[in-house]
Structure 1
Amino acid sequence: MDRILSDLELVNGLRKGDTSAYTEIYERYSGPLYLFVLKRWENRDGAKDLVHDFFLKLWEKKEELEISSNLTAYLFTAIRHAMLNQISREKVKTRYIDSFLSFLDAVEPKGTDYLMREKEMQKIIEREIDGLHPRMREVFELSRKENLSRKEIAETLGISEETVKNHMHKALKTLKRNLGVLFVYLF
């Protein structure tokens, strides 16, 4: 019969890079941490992503961890801080987008010249989207043009939600890199 490891044994194993200790921590705490975040945030995808990223960072920073014997308290405090930071970043992003949209609404179109620039910009954006890897482009278009959720895209394409997330991240990173200068120039 397997012995249940104490928090201190799990922490010591984690610090040493023991994947079984890490797996045990994940299996023991990922569900309760997810419910903790979901109860306060009410964003299923955001909660899943936050917990997933949290555990990735836990592994990446395993040697630097300053955890005494109370692993539970450490994990819940750390996930709470991560959640508050994420919510804060989203608020800043929302304020920026709202401000930008207000600016665009306030700018009065300047006739034909404005329409030509808008059409040209749309062509450039479409060309960049067409230049994405075929599967990445398909995921991006299902998300942005069809407004499908990660889960719906995963089911439609027969891939995992994590793969959908990775494709979206890479697509947005590529488009931002390739179109960044264009957006600064136009706006």
Structure 2
Amino acid sequence: MPHKNHNQVPAEIHEQFDLFKKGNGRAFKYFYDFYHRPAYNYVLNLIHNNAVAEEIIDDVFVLLWDNRDRIKDANHLVNFLYLVSRRMAIAHLVSLKKQVESEAAWAIYQYEWATQFDEVEIAKDKILSLIFQHIGNLPPRQKEVFLLSFTQRMDVRSIAKKLGTSEKNVYKHLSRAYDYFTTVFPRNHLVLILLMSAWQ
């Protein structure tokens, strides 16, 4: 999967991106064909499950299409695929933890996963893992609002419109979600959570 600092984007991709932004289905297929295999290999390398990796990548491209208005340029598109693929893979690993029969088996998954990143990336992934472990404790509406903000990078106005509620209610749900996290995360972890909310 291309790294998010990747800057060498062919000119043809920029041309296709302009069509993609306008809702052109063929341009979307162009990006699907171009990035599907590296994205799939990237996720597969994290979770080691062919079928689940394919499902995750299909969902990632659905999100790409649904969020095309928010994608700034061709480089941002690559970054979007990288981050969303990674976050979905992490969510799967957290879910997998509940299914393994022993802490020893889970430790193996953690080790294989962690060794693929440098120290900074490992720190980010650890926080993401903790977030997804605790997010199930949020009330359904709070969880929905938090996930739209945190994983799909939607702003308050967009969330309010999507859910058919007021921006005031969205702020309330986000505030209560972060209040909850203050009770389960150490202070230094909370700083990282806030920083992660600003990651692109």
TM superposition score normalised by structure 2: 0.40
Higher relative contact order (CA 8 A, sep 6+): 2
Higher CA-based Rg: 1
